[in-house]
């Protein structure tokens, strides 16, 4: 093997090959972390909420009638809407709630287990009428669901609130024991009676509390009211117009807007799709630029060493030996860049994880990127190296 001549040739052109080494290292670091970001965004898109997303519509009312300034009037209208919507053919369940799946945020606060050590944990918190679990399509795994008798609409009431919680919140607060019949203390120092536990639940949130949720019993009617309506599969197009019609018939002193949860979910993932597209473009661009750099350096080396190549050919070197020389030279440069790139990849990933809560680097993606850059180096070197094998010994030795 021609390691000696290759190493000497590399030493004579340190800056040229050092730039390629650095370029390969940067490429490896960027590509592996970009692949990790693409994978992470893809995992988020595949994450199942546990809700019947395909068959839920979100309804919001915005009143303009002065009558809605009165709380009892607003609540009476909400109850009329619940009865009217539930009576529509094709409606499975409906709930008045301030919970909106897949909005990327919502309402949250801190809770602690009654009788515990006082440790507080952040969880999502929403007010709902009893149909909320059926409206979402999640299942009660223990205890009972919310009931109309659990609702206390008196804003000055000091009585304990009633709620159902997600199974993951139960595990967090009660360490494997049942939460049913236990009490919580929320961030307003209100005592909360837990009557049931539901599962599954996943809703993306700004804090890492995606699986933790507390559903209070109560009406939601302030500047308007919000509802989640679950319909039978395949009936969305027929039911949605009937919802608006039925609600306006009951009270036309308000405007009504509706969105399917699929539409809300699609909007939520817009940024993720942009990230995936941008990272894919970055990978393609940086790999292309690195490949062109290798082609350029190898082509320059071939041109620069025409006389040397011609001499070797005249002394009996085969075309395969010339090709092997340039491939081996690239292999040495590429490996040097990859060794440096592995350290750079992990360093960049640590920075991303600590500063942006990104995903940790998977060694399998690092291995894939290494193989990709190896193949790229071979292909990029072959183009000018094949030209070197076609040099005529006579013409090469006469060249300057």
pLDDT at residue 230 in the model: 97
Q: Is the pLDDT of residue 1 over 80?
A: no
In a shared domain, residues 78 and 177 = yes
Q: 200: cis peptide before it, omega within 30°? A: yes
pLDDT band for 399, please (50, 70, 90 cuts): very low
Q: Which residue has the higher pLDDT, 42 or 178?
A: 178
Above 90 in pLDDT, residue 287?
Answer: no
Residues 283 and 246 in one domain: no
Please check whether residue 75 lies inside any domain of the structure.
Answer: yes
388 has a pLDDT exceeding 80? no
**Domain shared by 212 and 288, yes or no:** no
pLDDT tens digit string along 12-63?
666 667 888 888 899 989 889 888 888 888 888 888 899 999 999 999 999 9
> Tens digit of pLDDT for each residue in 247-263?
999 899 999 999 999 99
Residue ending a domain, choose from 258, 289, 316: 258
The stretch 80-97 carries a mean pLDDT of 95
Q: Are residues 181 and 320 in the same domain?
A: no
Which residues are paired to 121 by β-bridges? 111
Q: Is 381 within a domain?
A: yes
**What is the overall mean pLDDT for the chain?**
85
Specify if 264 maps to a domain: no
- For residue 218, tell me if it sits in a domain: yes
Same domain membership, residue 57 and residue 41: no
Look-up: residue for tokens 């009431």?
A: 157
Same-domain status, 133 and 195: yes
| Residue 265 belongs to some domain of the structure | no
pTM, 2 dp = 0.76
Distance set, CA 96 to CA 117, 222, 266, 336, 380 (Å): 34, 12, 23, 63, 62
- Quick one: 39 and 68 in the same domain? no
Is pLDDT at 359 greater than 80 in this prediction? no
Residue from 397, 374, 234, 253 nearest 312 by CA: 397
CA distance 179 to 184: 9
Do 249 and 188 share a domain, yes or no? yes
**Is 167 a residue whose pLDDT tops 60?**
yes
In the chain, the DSSP E strands lie at 56-63, 91-96, 108-113, 121-128, 139-143, 161-166, 183-185, 191-199, 213-217, 225-231, 254-260
Distance of alpha carbon 305 from alpha carbon 313, whole angstroms: 12
Q: Which of 200, 232, 258 is the last residue of a domain?
A: 258
Q: Are residues 230 and 279 in the same domain?
A: no
CA distance 68 to 255: 13
Parent domain of 158: 53-258
Residue 33 shares a structural domain with residue 157: no
Q: Does residue 353 lie within any of the structural domains?
A: yes
Side-chain-side CA neighbours of 163 within 13 Å: the count stands at 27
Average pLDDT over residues 2-9: 61
- The pLDDT value recorded for residue 400 is 45
192 domain-assigned: yes
In a domain, 263, yes or no: no
188 with 321, same domain?
no
Query: Per mean pLDDT, which range of 131-145, 235-249, 353-367 is the poorest?
Result: 353-367
Q: How far apart (Å, rounded) are the C-alpha atoms in residues 112 and 118?
A: 6
* 232, 258, 284 - which closes a domain: 258
What does the DSSP assignment read for 10-31? HHHTHHHHHHHHHHHHHHHHHH
Same structural domain for residues 158 and 254? Answer: yes
Question: Using CA atoms, how far apart are residues 45 and 105, in angstroms rounded to an integer?
Answer: 16
Domain tally, the chain: 2
């Amino acid at each position: 093997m021609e390691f000696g001549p290759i190493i000497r040739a590399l030493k004579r052109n340190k800056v040229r090959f050092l730039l390629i080494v650095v370029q390969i290292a940067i490429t490896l670091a960027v590509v592996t972390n970009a692949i990790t970001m693409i994978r992470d965004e893809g995992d988020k898109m595949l994450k199942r909420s546990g809700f019947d997303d395909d068959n839920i519509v979100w309804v919001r009312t915005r009143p303009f009638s002065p009558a809605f300034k009165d709380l009892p009037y607003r609540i009476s209208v909400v109850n009329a809407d619940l009865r009217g919507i539930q009576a529509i053919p094709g409606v499975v369940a409906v709930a008045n709630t301030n919970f909106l799946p897949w909005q990327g945020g919502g309402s949250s606060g801190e809770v602690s287990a009654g009788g515990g050590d006082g440790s507080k944990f952040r969880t999502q918190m929403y007010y709902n009428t009893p149909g909320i679990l059926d409206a979402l399509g999640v299942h009660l795994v223990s205890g009972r669901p919310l009931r109309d008798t659990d609702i206390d609409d008196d804003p000055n009431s000091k009585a304990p609130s009633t709620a159902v919680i997600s199974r993951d919140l139960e595990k967090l607060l009660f360490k494997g024991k049942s939460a049913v019949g236990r009490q919580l203390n929320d961030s307003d120092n209100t005592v909360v009676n837990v009557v049931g536990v539901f599962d599954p639940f996943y809703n993306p949130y700004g804090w890492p509390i995606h699986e933790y949720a507390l559903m209070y019993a109560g009406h939601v009617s302030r500047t308007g009211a919000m509802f989640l309506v679950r319909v039978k599969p395949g009936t969305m197009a027929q039911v949605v117009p009937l919802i608006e019609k039925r609600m306006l018939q009951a009270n036309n002193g308000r405007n009504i807007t509706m969105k399917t949860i699929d539409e809300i979910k699609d909007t939520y993932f817009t940024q993720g799709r942009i990230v995936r597209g941008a990272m894919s473009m970055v990978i393609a661009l940086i790999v292309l630029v690195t490949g062109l750099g290798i082609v350029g350096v190898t082509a320059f080396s071939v041109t620069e060493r025409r006389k040397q190549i011609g001499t070797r050919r005249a002394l009996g070197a085969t075309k395969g030996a010339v090709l092997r020389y340039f491939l081996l030279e690239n292999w040495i440069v590429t490996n040097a860049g990859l060794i440096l790139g592995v350290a750079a990849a992990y360093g960049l990933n640590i920075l991303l994880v600590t500063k942006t809560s990104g995903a940790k680097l998977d060694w399998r993606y690092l291995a894939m990127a290494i193989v990709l850059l190896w193949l790229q180096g071979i292909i990029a070197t072959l183009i000018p190296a094949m030209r070197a094998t076609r040099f005529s010994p006579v013409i090469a030795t006469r060249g300057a």
